[in-house]
Amino acid sequence: MKFIAPALCYDGLGNTLLSSDLFAEFDPEIKRSGPPTPFIFGPIRLDRVSALRCHSTVLLKQWAERPRHWPPPDVVKKVIYLGACLTPAGFKDSPYKHVEWRICFNSGETEIVNSLTDTQLKVYVMLKMIVKDELRP
């Protein structure tokens, strides 16, 4: 809780908001250019992301109730259980960027990727490589 209090701000309409900018600036050693902060230790590159756990039951229930043939029901249940995180990253050109947050389902996405067959995983990796190398703007 000690790191949330300094990030609180007021919107002028009587509402208290949690500023994504102030939250990200709480750690003075972090210089941010988007949500991840890169750390390099020799050949190892890591990204550090400050985030808050979010119990987004409405979003996850809507996703879970959609008609589908994949992923299997047990994976869908696990994704719902894993929940989501909020990261301090607003929309680039928004006038409210300083109080906007991005909702991330990284743990659920990892669970879905882990449920892929070998062939599906190979296709997924190849598509990511194509997007990264060929479809850059």
Q: How far apart are CA 99 and CA 8, in angstroms?
A: 10
By residue range, what is the domain housing residue 45? Answer: 1-50
| Model pTM above 0.85 | no
- Can you state the angle between helices 106-114 and 73-82, rounded to 10 degrees? 160
Longest CA–CA separation in the chain, Å: 54
Q: What is the DSSP string of 84-127?
A: EEEES---TT-TTGGG--EEE-HHHHHHHHHTS-HHHHHHHHHH
In a domain, 67, yes or no: yes
12 lies in the same domain as 60: no
- Report the pLDDT value the prediction gives residue 27, as an integer from 0 to 100: 60
Average pLDDT over residues 2-29: 84
Express each pLDDT in 94-128 by its tens digit. 999 999 999 999 999 999 999 999 999 999 999 99
Say if strands 16-18 and 36-41 run parallel, antiparallel, or are unpaired: unpaired
Count, residues in the chain:
137
- Report the pLDDT value the prediction gives residue 92, as an integer from 0 to 100: 87
- Report the pLDDT value the prediction gives residue 40, as an integer from 0 to 100: 83
**Phi-psi region for residue 34, left (φ > 0), alpha (ψ -120 to 50) or beta?**
left
Q: How far apart are CA 70 and CA 76, in angstroms?
A: 9
66 lies in the same domain as 4: no
Q: How many domains does the chain have?
A: 2
78 lies in the same domain as 126: yes
Express each pLDDT in 16-59 by its tens digit. 999 988 888 876 544 455 556 777 888 888 877 778 898 778 88
Q: How far apart are CA 37 and CA 48, in angstroms?
A: 5
Cis bond before residue 88 (omega within 30° of 0): no
In a domain, 129, yes or no: yes
Q: Would you place residue 132 in the very low, low, confident or very high pLDDT band (cuts 50, 70, 90)?
A: confident
